Chain A
Amino acid sequence: MHGFANPARFLRIARWLMPLCMGAGLVVAVAALGWGLFVAPAERLQGETVRIVYLHVPAAWLGMAGWMSIAAASFAELVWRHPLAGIAARASAVPGAVFTGVCLVTGSLWGRPAWGTWWVWDGRLTSMLVLLFLYFGWMALSQASEAADGGQNKAPAIFGLVGAVNIPIIHYSVIWWNSQHQPPSITVGKSAMSGDFLYPLLFAMLGFTLVFAGCVLARMRAILADQQAEARLRRKARADVEAF
């Protein structure tokens, strides 16, 4: 792990890994969406509206995975003081929040035809909305603490770990509480979903996960480049002052 403590080594790997993730992810995601939208059958009760699942479920998974990445990076930052951990957390926040937003919007669009309502305040929908607000709060806090002091910013890491409590709550909300949202169709080792829907869905999840990884790597490179540019400007300013 600490081999990556040197950002130069990370950057060497990210340089080819990022386009690979992004390219492969886009190909797989577009193919899976094409499969889901044009080839997969309509559902017995829901008809064509079931096709929104191929965007909704990957978005929900990545919204939650984004926060799990923030939490894991926060843990690494607090325990091992890994120099890339805070950057990884900051890089995961925006893609995670975007996917959470996509999940909420597609869920709302799906809820209208399937349930007869755009929104209900049940356990699943409410906890997912809370996750979106946690992302907003986390981004604001990490930006503020970065502006305040580049070195010691433990507050976002602690927030990242505390916010992770919401993840099992989102997952179990439909199991613990009676809710409008149905219980999970796919659990470890079995699926209540016919293979006609399951396989394009799994491919869509794989594709969007690769796209997500590509986004995180790209943002990590951008943040590192920003930091290097900043450091160079500081050095230059100092040299100018000394020369003056």
Chain B
Amino acid sequence: MAGVLKAKHQRLVLLSLALVVLLAAGLLAAWALRNQASYFYVPSEIIAAPPEPDRAVRLGGMVENGSLRTAADGVTIMFAVQDGKARVPVTFKGIVPSLFVEGSGVVAEGRMRADGTFIADNLLAKHDENYVPREMQDMTMEQAEKVVRETK
């Protein structure tokens, strides 16, 4: 068969096959990493399989609306992180990033206490994929999303 094929067609077939195999290997490796390569745990994962109390982990999710409180000392804050299925109470002492607000995403670095509270040493704000101008900020989220949908 190879004798019938022109050399450049043979190279085309072989190289295409090699590329498909290579891509499949890359995707399989990435698939195998799907749990290890995540940057943080979401609340439902941390509740289903709590890490050992002193292990440093990251917890990511949305800051639950209405959960943010400041303690009497003025610098410690308490809030809950939720992913729609579970919620984890978080305590943090320090300066929060400016994008840290209720209802938006957060990644907390710290450890789980035995009583189920997460003690954060550091907070990172996460912003979502939505970009909305300031003029629309007084609209409700649904209105803003509608405007964004219409502009696509």
Q: Which residue of B lies closest to A179 (CB)?
A: B39
**Option from B8, B34, B39, B60 in Cβ contact (under 8 Å) with A79:** B8
Quick check: B97 and A116 within 8 Å, CB to CB? yes
Whether a CB of chain B sits under 8 angstroms from the CB of A10 is no
Question: Which residue, B12, B39, B124, B127, has most C-beta atoms of chain A within 10 A?
Answer: B39
Whether a CB of chain B sits under 8 angstroms from the CB of A120 is yes
Whether a CB of chain B sits under 8 angstroms from the CB of A180 is yes
Min CB distance B138 to A, Å, is 10
B20-34 CB contacts (< 8 Å) to partner A? 22-23, 25-27, 30-31, 33-34
Min CB distance A188 to B, Å, is 11
A161-B42 contact, Cβ under 8 Å, with A50-B131, A194-B148, A198-B151: no
CA–CA, A81 to B6, complex, Å?
14
Quick check: A168 and B26 within 8 Å, CB to CB? yes
Whether a CB of chain B sits under 8 angstroms from the CB of A45 is yes
CA–CA, A192 to B99, complex, Å?
18
Contact code string A113-137 (vs B, CB < 8 Å = 1, else 0): 1111100111100000000000000
**Option from A43, A50, A176 in Cβ contact (under 8 Å) with B34:** A176
Interface of B is mostly: mixed
Residues of A within 8 A of B12 (CB): 79
Quick check: A165 and B23 within 8 Å, CB to CB? yes
Residues of A within 8 A of B19 (CB): 75, 161
Quick check: A179 and B127 within 8 Å, CB to CB? no
Residues of B within 8 A of A198 (CB): 131, 151
Min CB distance B7 to A, Å, is 10
Residues of B within 8 A of A183 (CB): 128-129
Quick check: B124 and A117 within 8 Å, CB to CB? yes
Whether a CB of chain A sits under 8 angstroms from the CB of B115 is no
Given pairs A41-B133, A113-B98, A115-B126, 15 additional interface contacts (CB within 8 A): A43-B132, A44-B133, A44-B136, A44-B137, A114-B99, A116-B125, A117-B124, A165-B23, A176-B34, A178-B39, A180-B40, A182-B127, A182-B129, A185-B131, A198-B131
